[in-house]
A = this chain, B = another copy of it.
Amino acid sequence: MKQLYFVTSNENKFKEAGKILSNYGIHVYMKKVELIEKQSDDPALIASSKARDAWKALRNDVIVEDDGLFIDALQGFPGPYSAFVYKTISNEGVLKLMNDVTNRNATFLSVIAHCSRNFAPIIFKGAVKGKISKKLRGRSWGYDPIFIPNNSGGLTYAELKSKKNMISHRRLALEHFAEWYTSI
């Protein structure tokens, strides 16, 4: 069984990732490391720099994950700053911004950066297209109650509950990583 650290302070993310990676025989440990984030509109750059710093701190195989919700009608807002926006204006603020907006298309993007002794950080991405709901639906964390992935029968990530893990942007990114990681 392969083992590595998932560097995050978000227990929900860790739980999701742990379940998905265990299907590939990969065991992850949650590890909190104080990482300085570069400010950039490019999530891959942010994750890549964090993975490098995390490897330097732990000297062990690591992954970090950043995700962002990119809303078409808002020119990609909240995008790379999804965490800050969630902390300040939250889902209620995003729904207010989308009030009376017809084009509700959005993309949820996950970026996994992996770093190990022998490699520069490697990036794996997963993206799911969908729509922003008109109100909060389902109880969960993050933007899950307002994101309706395409082909979900109109349910939000939050309403899909455990089924979210079968189709989520994070799953897609983790699968790309896991397929590569178990092949080396």
Question: Which residues in A have some Cβ–Cβ distance to B below 8 Å?
Answer: 36-41, 46, 74-81, 84-85, 87-89, 93, 96-97, 99
The interface residues of chain B lying within 8 Å CB-to-CB of A74 are 88-89, 93
Asked if B88 contacts A79 (CB within 8 A), the reply is yes
The interface residues of chain B lying within 8 Å CB-to-CB of A89 are 74-75, 77, 97
The interface residues of chain B lying within 8 Å CB-to-CB of A37 are 38-40
Nearest Cβ distance between residue A67 and chain B, in whole angstroms? 14
Which residue of B is nearest A92, CB measured? B97
Q: Which residue in B38, B79, B85 is a CB contact (below 8 Å) of A36?
A: B38
5 contacts between A and B (CB under 8 A): A36-B39, A75-B87, A75-B89, A77-B84, A89-B97
Give Cα A38 to B89, complex, Å: 22
The interface residues of chain B lying within 8 Å CB-to-CB of A39 are 36-40, 46
Q: Which residue in B75, B79, B99 is a CB contact (below 8 Å) of A96?
A: B99
Give Cα A152 to B74, complex, Å: 32
The interface residues of chain B lying within 8 Å CB-to-CB of A85 are 77, 81
Nearest Cβ distance between residue A104 and chain B, in whole angstroms? 15
Give Cα A94 to B9, complex, Å: 29
